[in-house]
């Protein structure tokens, strides 16, 4: 999923929103555990062997071996594969594996494979990033091996940063910034801001987390959208987003914060720090965030963490909602998930973020920060969305949805009126 960011207009007011091992060991580590059912003969095993050779080539940074798994007549693909491996040269890749999920044969010598690439950045990722790909392959009758003829994202997936150009790497104290096409000075500045965000998040979130963040900086908003597999129009005013899979197992794949360089650059120093602190909060709270967590809580908590030690007034942090309150247009209910839609009206989106922030601020102010943390954990630990907030309100805060909403409305009026 992609956690939502903030429009640039809103953010101006205060914020927005795998060195190789020996080959034998590598082949053991290559993830081919999922069987491809109903595939005749040894097709699945032979395709796994091709994927193992490809993974080994990445970890040994061997362009010849990487291109060697491409069919001889697929000259364009072979050239692009060499370029891609070159783009990866500076990335500290700690692991690179392929899991074969399904194979669809097309006759005896052609097949389409659904695979999951898992890669981990050494020193930063405690779990791999998972990327679904679709590969077309053909068997060479001369040696019986399978070779790639096409490699594309799975439906709904996006391109990878190294497919967009040479990846430049900037290492911070608590961050790793990977950029394509952007000035090194810009990447260094982002790393410095991320380095400030990480300890701020550690202060605001009481549980242990990795304490580091990986930030991707593509060249344009179109490139950003390609990484996310979504239309560019969804992100034109969004300064940054966080990718990741929610879940409470503790084994969620690694997150990436992706920056929209144009929108991010429009922010001042404070706004940039708020944006990266907000997004880093999503990284820290990932394993406690689930399908049961409403967006007002996940986004509101990230805002609460980002503004926690700042000196901005409530009206400065929530200008759109403040204006609505001055007009007598007090919101009747907490923001819904739909209110956070990227493509919705920007004022509605801004007010949704502001309302979520004030809900978390209310809990911290009235019940205490420890109760805010406990409430977040309780909601995310529920078996599903239905009843999650209601149960946590009762068990953690000793209140009801109706009472909490009334308190929130009064709090909004008092803070912004």
Q: Cα–Cα distance between 168 and 413 in angstroms, integer?
A: 48
Q: Which residues of the chain have pLDDT under 50?
A: 1-37, 247-250
Q: What is the pLDDT of residues 211-264, one digit of tens each?
A: 999 999 999 999 999 999 889 988 888 999 998 755 444 455 678 999 999 999
Closest CA to 356 of 303, 401, 409, 319: 303
Query: In a 10 Å sphere around its CB, with 0-12 CB exposed, 13-18 middle and 19+ buried, how is residue 256 labelled?
Result: buried
Q: Cα–Cα distance between 178 and 51 in angstroms, integer?
A: 26
- Please compute Rg for the chain using Cα positions: 23
pLDDT, position 251: 52
pLDDT, position 98: 97
Distance between alpha carbon 409 and the CA centroid of its chain, in Å? 32
Q: Cα–Cα distance between 219 and 87 in angstroms, integer?
A: 14
pLDDT, position 156: 85
pLDDT, position 126: 85
pLDDT, position 21: 33
> What structural domains does the chain harbor?
1-17+159-289 (3.30.2010.30), 31-157 (3.10.450.50), 290-417 (no CATH)
pLDDT, position 17: 36
pLDDT, position 345: 79
Q: What is the residue whose two structure tokens read 């930063």? A: 124
If phi > 0 it is left, if psi is from -120 to 50 it is alpha, else beta; for residue 165 that is left
Cα 335–Cα 243–Cα 373 angle in degrees, nearest 5:
55
pTM, full prediction: 0.86
pLDDT, position 90: 95
């Amino acid at each position: 999923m992609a956690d939502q960011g903030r429009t640039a207009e809103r953010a101006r007011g205060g914020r927005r929103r795998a060195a190789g091992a020996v080959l034998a060991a590598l082949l053991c580590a290559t993830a081919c555990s999922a069987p491809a059912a109903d595939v005749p003969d040894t097709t699945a095993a032979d395709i796994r062997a091709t994927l193992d050779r490809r993974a080994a080539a990445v970890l040994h940074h061997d362009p010849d071996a990487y291109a060697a798994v491409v069919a001889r007549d697929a000259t364009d693909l072979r050239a692009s594969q060499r370029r891609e491996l070159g783009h990866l040269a500076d990335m500290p890749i700690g692991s690179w594996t392929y899991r074969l999920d399904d194979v669809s044969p097309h006759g005896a010598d052609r097949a389409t494979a659904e695979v999951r690439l898992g890669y981990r950045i050494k020193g930063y990722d405690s779990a791999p990033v998972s990327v679904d790909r679709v590969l077309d392959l053909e068997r060479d009758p001369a040696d019986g091996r399978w070779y790639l003829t096409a490699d594309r994202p799975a439906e709904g997936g996006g391109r990878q940063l190294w497919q967009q150009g040479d990846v430049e790497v900037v290492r911070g104290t608590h961050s790793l910034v990977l950029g394509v096409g952007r000035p090194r000075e810009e990447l260094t500045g982002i790393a410095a801001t991320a380095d400030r965000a990480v300890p701020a998040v550690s202060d605001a979130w009481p549980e242990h987390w990795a304490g580091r963040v990986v930030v991707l900086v593509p060249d344009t908003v179109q490139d950003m959208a390609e990484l996310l597999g979504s239309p560019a129009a969804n992100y034109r005013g969004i300064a940054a987003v966080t990718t990741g899979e929610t879940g409470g197992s503790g084994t969620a794949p690694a997150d990436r914060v992706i920056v929209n360089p144009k929108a991010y650059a429009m922010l001042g120093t404070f706004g940039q720090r708020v944006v990266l602190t907000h997004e880093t909060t999503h990284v820290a709270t990932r394993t406690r965030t689930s399908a049961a967590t409403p967006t007002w809580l996940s986004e509101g908590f990230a805002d609460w963490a980002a503004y926690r030690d700042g000196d901005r007034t409530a009206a400065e942090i929530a200008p759109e909602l403040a204006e609505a309150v001055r007009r007598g247009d007090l919101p009747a209910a907490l923001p819904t998930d739909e209110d956070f839609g990227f493509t919705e009206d920007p004022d509605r989106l801004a007010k949704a973020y502001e309302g979520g922030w004030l809900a978390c601020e209310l809990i911290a102010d009235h019940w205490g920060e420890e109760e805010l943390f406990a409430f977040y954990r309780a909601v995310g630990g529920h078996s599903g969305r239905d009843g999650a907030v209601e149960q946590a309100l009762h068990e953690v805060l000793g209140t009801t949805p109706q009472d909490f909403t009334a308190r929130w409305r009064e709090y909004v009026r008092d803070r912004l009126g």
